[in-house]
Amino acid sequence: MKFIKPKKLQKGGTIGIISPSWGGPNFFPHIYDEGILVLKEMGFQIKEYPTTRADPEYLYNNPELRAKDVNEAFQDEEVSAIFASIGGDDSIRLLPFIDEEVIKSNPKIVMGYSDTAILLTFANQLGLVTFNGPSIMAGFSQMRNFPNAIKHVRDMISSTFETYEYQPYNEYVDGYPDWENKENTGKINEKQTEYLQWNWLQGTSKVVGELFGGCIEVLEFMKGTNYWPEKEFWDGKILFFETSEEKPSPVNVKYMLRNYGIQGIFEEVKGILFGRARDYTVDEKKKLDGIILNVVKNEFGNSDIPIVTNMDFGHTDPQLIMPLGCKLEIDCERKKVALTESPVKD
C-alpha cells in the first residue's frame, strides 16, 4: 500500500479540534484552553465542532455525533489539520459511523494518542499517513515547559525533509498535577533525568519499514473485529507500542505481545519500538524489557528483529511524534532511529 501524505500545516493554517472519546474540554476547560492558547501562540488558527466541548455523558451516549464531527472535520475545506482534544476509552464505538470515502478523499494531518490510536490506525489502513503525538490537553497544554518539543512539532507537521533522525530528550515527566486545581494549569510533575537511554535489546542489522502502532492496550480493542489489519498489512512494518497511564503490569504486556506472536505478526515485521512506560520504576522498566525480549526472541523464535525500548513517545512528556505509514530506519550498529521520508508534503 502506498500511503497518502497530507499537506504540511502552514503558519496561519487552521486546526480542527475533535473530541472522539472523552469530553475532557467540558470537564477541565482551563486545561483545554491552555492547550489551545499554545497552538495559537505557535501561529495556528483553531476551529471547534459541536462535540468538541460537549458534556462527557452526552458524548458517551452519542458516538454517532462524535463520528459526525470527525467526518465534518475531514470534509471541512477550512481545516488543514485535525487534533484530538484528549484520549479516553471508547473511540472504537465511532468506527461504524465514520465515512471511509470522506477520509480517503480528504487526507489531512490527524494527530492524537492513547485512545485516539483507534482513529489513527483506522485512517492509516485506509491509506493515510497519520500522527501519533500530543493531544490538546495532554501534551500541548504543558508544552511551554519543553521548548524542544515545540520545535519538534513544527519539524514534523510544518516542514518537509529527506531524513529526520530522532533524538532522545534530556528529561521527561510522568503526568501532571491534579487538573481540578486551576493553579496547576500548564504545569507538569517533577522532571526526571535518570534512565533516559534508549535500550537496544537485540538486532545487528539496518532495517527500513513503515511505522504502525500506538497504545498497546487500545489496540487490543480492535483485535477480532473487521477493523483489525489483514495478515498482508503487516509485511514490512515497524511496530511501535506504548503503555497508558493505567500502567498495565509487565506481565499484562506479555499477554498482549503473545497475541501478536500467535498471529504470526513478528515474522512479518522489520522491527519493534517501545515507548517509555509511564509511572514504571526503573526495575519495572527492566522487567518489561526482559519480557519483551523473551516473548519475541524465545517464545516465538524471532532473534533477528531489532527491538528498541524506553523511547520518548507515548504517555510521558515530551513526546516524539510517530507518523503511521511513514518509512523509518533502525540502524542497530550506529544505534540510530530515523525517518527516511517526510510525513507531509509541500
Residue 1 placed within a domain: no
Q: Which domain holds residue 47?
A: 14-164
- Of 115, 143, 164, which closes a domain? 164
Interval 63-85: pLDDT, tens: 999 999 999 999 999 999 999 99
Interval 35-47: pLDDT, tens: 999 999 999 999 9
Angle between helices 282-293 and 250-262 in degrees, nearest 10:
20
Given pLDDT bands bounded at 50, 70 and 90, which one contains residue 1?
confident
Claim to verify: residue 125 and residue 180 sit in the same structural domain: no
Claim to verify: residue 68 and residue 83 sit in the same structural domain: yes
Claim to verify: residue 148 and residue 200 sit in the same structural domain: no
Residue 299 placed within a domain: yes
- Of 164, 181, 208, which closes a domain? 164
Claim to verify: residue 216 and residue 253 sit in the same structural domain: yes
Claim to verify: residue 152 and residue 296 sit in the same structural domain: no
CATH (domain of 305): 3.50.30.60
**pLDDT more than 90, % of the chain:** 99
Our count of domains for the chain comes to: 2
Summary mean pLDDT of the chain: 98
Residue 98 placed within a domain: yes
Residue 344 has pLDDT above 90, yes or no: yes
Claim to verify: residue 160 and residue 176 sit in the same structural domain: no
Claim to verify: residue 178 and residue 31 sit in the same structural domain: no
Claim to verify: residue 117 and residue 194 sit in the same structural domain: no
Claim to verify: residue 211 and residue 261 sit in the same structural domain: yes
Claim to verify: residue 92 and residue 151 sit in the same structural domain: yes
The set of cell numbers assigned to 143 is 508544552
Interval 182-239: pLDDT, tens: 999 999 999 999 999 999 999 999 999 999 999 999 999 999 999 999 999 999 999 9
CATH (domain of 43): 3.40.50.10740
Residue 305 placed within a domain: yes
- Of 164, 193, 216, which closes a domain? 164
Residue 207 placed within a domain: yes
Residue 263 placed within a domain: yes
Residue 4 placed within a domain: no
Interval 245-303: pLDDT, tens: 999 999 999 999 999 999 999 999 999 999 999 999 999 999 999 999 999 999 999 99
321 beta partners: none
Interval 123-143: pLDDT, tens: 999 999 999 999 999 999 999
How far apart are alpha carbons 179 and 116 in whole angstroms?
21
Residue 3 placed within a domain: no
Is pTM beyond 0.95? Reply is yes
